[in-house]
Amino acid sequence: MIPVLERTMVAPNIHNLRLQAPDVARSAKPGQFVILQAEEDGERIPLTISDWDAEKGDITVVFMQVGATTGKLALLKAGDSIPTAAGPLGNPMELGNFGTVICVGGCYGIASIYPIARALKEMNNRVICVVEARSSFLFYWQEKLRKTSDEMIFITRDGSLGRRGHINNLGSIIPSIKGGVDRVIINGCNYVMMRGCEETRPLGIKTIVSLNTLMIDGTGMCGVCRVTVNGSNKFACVDGPHFDGHEVNWDELSSRRQAYLREETVTLRTSAPEKER
């Protein structure tokens, strides 16, 4: 059993969950995830390890409450426990001294981009964080992100903070950055990642995304997480979840991701504007 140390709502529908998982905390690297169960015999879902403390032995995941399992996780309180938190799974994000890196985060990606930004900053990159939400009250973890970035850019759909619009702003943000951009890393819902890639593709900037597929085991055993990248079949859990976004077959990915979704609930879970849904 995995003890729950803390669970708080950091923005409407977005929760911070801190768990005691010393072995996971000791091995975690930026970009890796855990598979959680909210209860015995329940669904297994992947959530990114958005922060951790190897010494104290805890890990933090930030999740958006969208369905059955995240709904149960959202009810946890300190002192409760959950049966499963297996990880760290997946490959770590490729790190290095790239120069100037834009880290883009939307919804839960605002948190999951944080350890990546932190590591890149430690490696002396110029880190620019771009965070995106429907409205300013949906932002969270801003202080943490500010500390790990040289600059922060906000985008809101309603214009309540920063630029107005959505992720397509990236197309105008990038050229405005002096000295150019060497790499873009996007975390968030598949829509944000896909649209972001459309903006960076014509600019020829390498763009890494962390794919959000269905998963069961997270160890390469079931194949439910398969995606087509550069024409070949990959298992997101063991070959990814990070891929070059310009090589991902997005149509296939979104149809596979939604295999079990009822149409009417889609609206609750995407930040895509109506006409592009």
Partner 1 sequence: MNLQRVEMSKQKPEVRRQNFDEVAFGYTPEEAMAEASRCLDCKKPGCVGNCPVEVNIPDFIRCIKAGDFAEGIRIIRQKNCLPAVTGRVCPQEEQCEGGCVFAKRGGQIAIGRLERFLADWEASQGINTGSIKKPRPTGRKVAVIGGGPAGLTVAGDLIQLGHQVTVYEALHKVGGVLVYGIPEFRLPKRIVRREVDYLTSLGVEMVTSYVVGKTRTVDSLLEEYDAIFVGSGAGLPWFMEIPGNNLNGVYSANEYLTRMNLMKGYTFPSVQTPIKQHHRVAVIGGGNVAMDCARTALRLGAEAHIVYRRSRQELPARLEEVENAEEEGVIFDFLTLPLACLGNENSWVTGLSCQKMELGEPDASGRRSPVAIPGSEFVMPVDAIIYAIGNSPNPLIPSTTPGLAIGRKGNIEAEEATGKTSKARVWAGGDVVTGAATVILAMGAGRKAARAIHRYLQTLEEE
Instruction: Compare residues 24 and 129 and give the one whose CB is closer to partner 1.
Output: 24
- Kindly state the smallest distance separating residue 253's Cβ from ligand FES, in Å: 13
| Residues numbered 197-216 forming contacts with ligand FES, rule: CB under 6 A | 215-216
Task: Identify what 184 binds: partner 1, ligand FES, ligand FAD, none; CB under 5 to 8 Å per kind.
Answer: none
Task: Identify what 227 binds: partner 1, ligand FES, ligand FAD, none; CB under 5 to 8 Å per kind.
Answer: partner 1
Q: Angle at which helices 250-257 and 190-200 pack, to 10 degrees?
A: 170
Q: How far apart are alpha carbons 232 and 227 in whole angstroms?
A: 8
**What is residue 141's three-state secondary structure?**
coil
Is residue 25 within 8 Å of residue 59, measured between CB atoms? Answer: yes
**Which structure tokens are listed for 69?**
């399992």
**What is residue 210's three-state secondary structure?**
strand
Distances (CA, A) of 69 to 12, 124, 210, 246, 257: 17, 38, 21, 31, 16
Rule CB under 8 A: say whether 216 interacts with partner 1.
yes
Residue 225 annotated in ligand binding: yes
**Of 152, 161, 203, 222, the one binding ligand FES by CB under 6 A:** 222
Residue 237 annotated in ligand binding: yes
Residue 197 annotated in ligand binding: no
Rule CB under 8 A: say whether 221 interacts with partner 1.
yes
Phi, psi of 271 (to 5 degrees): -105, 15
Instruction: Compare residues 124 and 265 and give the one whose CB is closer to ligand FAD.
Output: 265
Distances (CA, A) of 78 to 2, 4, 17, 83, 104: 11, 5, 9, 15, 31
Question: Edge-to-edge strand order for the sheet containing 84-89?
Answer: 81-82, 2-11, 14-20, 58-64, 45-53, 33-37, 84-89
Distances (CA, A) of 224 to 10, 43, 88, 179, 234: 31, 13, 19, 42, 10
Instruction: Please choose, out of 21-29, 109-117, 166-174, 176-184, the segment that lies near partner 1 by the rule CB under 8 A.
Output: 21-29
Show the binding pattern over residues 176-215: x = contacts ligand FAD (CB under 6 A), - = does not. Answer: ------------------------------------xxxx
Annotated binding site for [2Fe-2S] cluster: 222, 225, 237
Which residues would be at the binding site for partner 1 (CB under 8 A)?
23-24, 26-27, 35, 37, 40-44, 68-69, 83-89, 216-224, 226-228, 233, 238, 251-252, 255-256, 259-260
Binding site for ligand FES (CB under 6 A): 215-218, 220-225, 235, 237
